Amino acid sequence: MSSKILIIGACGQIGSELTYKLRSLYGDENVVASDISYNNLDIVNTGIFEIADAQDYASIKTCVEKHQIDTVYLMAAMLSATGEKYPMKAWDLNMTSLFNVLNLARDKFIKRVFWPSSIAVYGSTTPTEYTPQYTIMEPSTVYGITKQVGERWCEYYHKKYNIDVRSIRYPGIISWKTPPGGGTTDYAVEIYHEAIKAKSYKCFLKEDTELPMMFMDDAIKATVDIMTAKSKNVKIRSSYNLAAISFTPQEVAASIKKHIPEFKITYAPDYRQDIASTWPKSINDSYAREDWKWKHAFSLEDITEEMLFQLGKKYNTISKASQ
Model confidence at 319: pLDDT above 60: no
Q: Give the residue from 272, 256, 267, 269 showing the smallest Cα distance to 194.
A: 256
Element (H, E) at 230: none
Query: What order do you get walking across the sheet with 211-215 strand by strand?
Result: 172-174, 211-215, 245-247
Model confidence at 65: pLDDT above 80: yes
Fold adopted by 5-171+216-241: Rossmann fold (3.40.50)
Q: How many C-alpha atoms does 284 have within 13 Å on its Cβ side?
A: 12
> Residue 320: what pLDDT?
35
pTM summary value: 0.93
Model confidence at 321: pLDDT above 50: no
**pLDDT per residue as tens digits for the range 226-273:** 999 999 999 999 999 999 999 999 999 999 999 999 999 999 999 999
Q: Tell me the mean pLDDT in the region 291-319.
A: 91
Is 143 among the residues known to form the active site? yes
Q: Tell me the mean pLDDT in the region 36-59.
A: 93
Catalytic residue among 20, 73, 122, 143: 143
Fold adopted by 173-213+244-282+298-322: UDP-galactose 4-epimerase; domain 1 (3.90.25)
> Residue 178: what pLDDT?
81
Q: Tell me the mean pLDDT in the region 141-169.
A: 98
How far apart, in whole angstroms, are the C-alpha atoms of residue 195 and residue 201?
A: 7
Residue 154: CB atoms within 10 Å: 23
**pLDDT per residue as tens digits for the range 279-301:** 999 999 999 999 999 999 999 99
Q: Tell me the mean pLDDT in the region 86-93.
A: 97
How far lies 228's CA from each of 187, 210, 221, in Å?
32, 32, 10
How far lies 131's CA from each of 61, 169, 194, in Å?
38, 12, 31
How far apart, in whole angstroms, are the C-alpha atoms of residue 282 and residue 73?
A: 26
Calculate the average pLDDT of the chain.
94
Q: Which amino acid belongs to residue 5?
A: I
Looking at the chain, the domain(s) classified CATH 3.40.50.720 span 5-171+216-241
Looking at the chain, the domain(s) classified CATH 3.90.25.10 span 173-213+244-282+298-322
